[in-house]
Amino acid sequence: MYRDKLLNEILGEEDRILIDLLQNYCAAEILPVRQQIDDDHDHVIVHRILQGLADLGMVRAVWPAEYGGGGVTSTVTSFLAVEEIARGDSGIAVAVSCCTWAIYPALLAPNKRVLDDFAPLFCGDQVKIGCFNMTESGGPQGGGGCDIENIKNQGRRIRTTARREGDQWVLNGQKIWATNSGIADLYLMVCTTDPGQGDEGIALIYVPCPTSGLSFGKFENKAGMQGDRNTTTYLENVRVPLEYRAAGPGRDAELFHVNLALGRIGSAAMSVGNAQGAFERVMDFASDRVVGVTPKPIRQHSIAAGMLADMIIGIETARSFYVQAAYKFDRPEEYGARHSAEQLSRASIAKVYAADMAVMVTNRAMELMGSYGYTRDYDVEKYWRDCKIIQLWEGGAQLGRFDVCRAYYDLEI
């Protein structure tokens, strides 16, 4: 049974079973080895965990049942599941959730060719990985980074090009920072057919790996989030069938904006899971450790109780809002199209608030634990390192705030 009674009532029986399975899997397979993930340079542990999650149905969960998938259509269910995984390790959570992120536009389009060609991979017994590759480095003319994700730029900052040649797309460019880059089996590339066309030029094109002309740089060495692999992706005359474009002019831009909203709700879920894990650790520590002139557990001191209260308030409100955003995302007929400014605003509120909250919670946890919070033995320092990048990705904290405003007034930034 899910820990929150109201959410437990919202979830269906199959959803509750999935969440229970993931809670148990996290306790048995992720938490015992989470400190080893930072040193797992060959991703042996990570791959084993991802295979276990695939065995539980996480990778194929959103694929339609007719393709051998789980047929999960609820964003609420998907992200409550992601939260549970992030409670164990948020790098693992982003790695598995980005498999869904990559295929989501093809599901919404729907693109029968892509689904037919890749369902046997992703719905099979062996774990297969997806990558949604959008970010690019900036150049002397600007562009790249969060400029690509700024909907006001309408795709004009995208430098990765897609040129039609006969019955194929020919892709050229470079991408950076994408989750699962360098290890994925299928990439969704954010390209442009013509930067001057704005949104009409945005093209989402699938590239299987290996494909001639597709190559990768070295993996980034980050402060945390080592369960998530990132590298530079190079495309040199990469050729794929025309049918591997998600939808077409205009519609691809809408699907891109949908993915931005989806990613921000997912980021909120990961932040909450990260904060929940850190909170559970500090609660154990604050219960066992006795301090003071009149010795009593740390959490029985008023200043500590106030800090723990702030942590609880942050976690519970962040969870409530991201679930609300996911609920409304699932009901576009009532709350606006999934690519609308309203949906992106709600998703951005969820992400910005939850990411800020996770940084606050992990900081407070370390303060309550003193030097022990800074040691690897107690896990909190890893939650602290892992959650910071969630603030920074998908446009950073400030672009998210801009997108919050866009549903309320005509912000030109």
Could you report the per-residue pLDDT of 346-396, keeping only the tens digit for each? 999 999 999 999 999 999 999 999 999 999 988 999 999 999 999 999 988
Residue 275 pLDDT > 50, yes or no?
A: yes
Domain limits at 89?
5-129
The domain that contains 226 carries what CATH number?
A: 2.40.110.10
Query: Which pairing describes strands 214-219 and 202-208: parallel, antiparallel, or unpaired?
Result: unpaired
Query: Among residues 114, 129, 144, which one ends one of the domains?
Result: 129
In a domain, 411, yes or no: no
What is the model's pLDDT at position 1?
Answer: 44
Least-confidence region, from 40-44, 293-297, 306-310: 293-297
Measured distance CA(281)–CA(287) in Å, rounded: 10
**Distances, alpha carbon 2 to alpha carbons 14, 55, 326, in Å:** 12, 21, 17
pLDDT score for 276:
97
pLDDT at 22: 93
pLDDT at 137 over 90: no
Confidence band of 140 (pLDDT split at 50, 70, 90) = low
- Across all residues in the chain, what is the average pLDDT? 94
pLDDT > 70 in the chain, percent: 98
Residue type, 24: N
CA distance 285 to 135: 40
Q: What is the pLDDT of residue 143?
A: 58
Please give the span between the terminal C-alpha atoms of the chain, in angstroms, as a whole number.
Answer: 45
In a domain, 410, yes or no: no
Inside any domain, residue 68: yes
Nearest to 160 by CA among 92, 213, 85, 236: 236
Residue 216 CA to residue 208 CA, distance in Å, equals 14
Tell me the whole-structure pTM to 2 decimals: 0.96
In a domain, 413, yes or no: no
321 versus 397: which is more confidently predicted?
321
CB 272 within 8 A of CB 319: yes
Give how many domains the chain has, as a whole number.
Answer: 3
Task: Looking at the structure, tell me whether residues 199 and 120 fall in a common domain.
Answer: no
pLDDT tens digit string along 221-256? 999 999 999 999 999 999 999 999 999 999 999 999
Q: One-letter amino acid identity for 8?
A: N
Residues 105 and 150 both lie in one domain: no
pLDDT at residue 56, as a whole number? 94
Domain edge (last residue) among 129, 147, 173: 129
